[in-house]
Amino acid sequence: MKQNAPILLFCYKRLDSLQQTVSALKKCVFASESELYIFSDGAKADKDKQPVEEVRAFIKDITGFKKVIIKESEINRGLASSIIEGVTDVMKFSERVIVLEDDLVVSANFLAYMNQGLEYYTYQSKVYSISGYTIPMEVPAGYQYDVYFLPRASSWGWATWKNRWENIDWSVSDFAEFSRNKENIRQFNKGGSDMFAMLKKQMNREIDSWAIRWCYHQYKTQTYSAFPISSRVQNIGFTSDATNTYVYNRYQTTLDSGSALEFNFSDDIELAPFFLRQFQHFYSKYARAVSKIKTYIIKARHKTNG
């Protein structure tokens, strides 16, 4: 296997979750053989300055990696710009990267899985990215592989290659034409009933998402993401001090035990109906509506008890 891909960790002001992320990452096999790039975003408002400084004090003492490189922004770039610019900068000297945010906990075999996936699919251009996270999935009896493929990328612990990343049109220059084609929109929404709505909000500057533009590029190139059968990432961003506090977390999944260090990757890079059906149900309008109702109930209870 080639040299381990550099790990890019993006953080802002959530010290507690960042500490959990780093603690889990340090326990990974190959952590000590991997370079860690930490991107610390600047404070957006005066009230954010202290938590940002607390984060920066913490990251200066991080050890356990081959090398730790810290990039501190003097201004608030926001997550989208931070990731786009950070990944692009590191890819000036690296052909592949592994990316994490400060609310993700990984299994002990996360780096082994990601690096092996990057190596295995290097020349398989139909595979656009490797995901460390998976939604809860049933696996058919006798399924022999450690991955399956989906038309939608995940931003929760992922990896990709320079020759995929460098061709993305972040401005989505063809959006006006695309948005007038109902069939294209229907095809795009096979990646989830929320896809076009998110892209439209992005283009209207109602949200600031790098991930939906990433997914749109994957749709245009008709490429897939390789997802693990067993999740090697858990999102802990639905707890205190997070934007999604008191939101029903339907993305809760079972974190892999971390014991396996060799993985069986599939050469049949196609969308398997068994997995695709579960995926499309998970991202259906019905499932999303149920999630919103449960979130409303959770918030109402918290308000009553608070």
pLDDT, averaged in runs of 10, over the chain (306 residues): 90 97 98 98 97 98 98 96 98 98 97 98 97 94 95 96 96 97 95 94 96 96 97 84 55 92 96 91 74 67 62
Which pTM does this prediction carry?
0.92
Look at residue 2 and tell me if it is in a domain.
no
Distance, in Å, from the CA atom of 231 to the CA atom of 224, rounded to the nearest integer, reads 17
Q: Which position has the token pair 């090398």?
A: 67
Q: Are strands 158-161 and 96-101 parallel, antiparallel or unpaired?
A: antiparallel
Q: What is the pLDDT of residue 283?
A: 83
Distance, in Å, from the CA atom of 152 to the CA atom of 157, rounded to the nearest integer, reads 14
Look at residue 123 and tell me if it is in a domain.
yes
Q: What is the pLDDT of residue 287?
A: 62
What's the token pair of residue 265? 């990757």
Our count of domains for the chain comes to 1
Distance, in Å, from the CA atom of 102 to the CA atom of 109, rounded to the nearest integer, reads 18
What's the token pair of residue 283? 């991202």
- Angle of CA points 94, 96, 100, to nearest 5°: 110
Look at residue 95 and tell me if it is in a domain.
yes
- 222: number of Cβ within 10 Å: 10
Q: What is the pLDDT of residue 117?
A: 98
Amino acid of residue 35: E
What's the token pair of residue 23? 């603690």
Residue-by-residue DSSP string for 178-230 = HHT-HHHHHHHGGG-TTHHHHHHHHHTTSS--SHHHHHHHHHHHT-EEEEESS
Residue 118 · residue 128 · CB < 8 Å: no
Residue 157 · residue 279 · CB < 8 Å: no
Distance, in Å, from the CA atom of 97 to the CA atom of 88, rounded to the nearest integer, reads 10
Look at residue 1 and tell me if it is in a domain.
no
Q: What is the pLDDT of residue 129?
A: 97
Look at residue 108 and tell me if it is in a domain.
yes
Q: What is the pLDDT of residue 243?
A: 44
Q: What is the pLDDT of residue 240?
A: 44
Which helix (DSSP H) or strand (DSSP E) does residue 161 occupy?
strand 158-161
Q: Which strands sit side by side in the sheet containing 224-228, from one edge to the other?
A: 67-72, 35-40, 7-11, 96-101, 158-161, 127-131, 224-228, 147-150
Which range of residues forms the domain containing residue 64? 7-305
- Backbone phi, psi, residue 90, to 5°: -65, -30
Q: What is the pLDDT of residue 246?
A: 55
CATH number where 40 lies: 3.90.550.10
Q: Which position has the token pair 């992005």?
A: 202
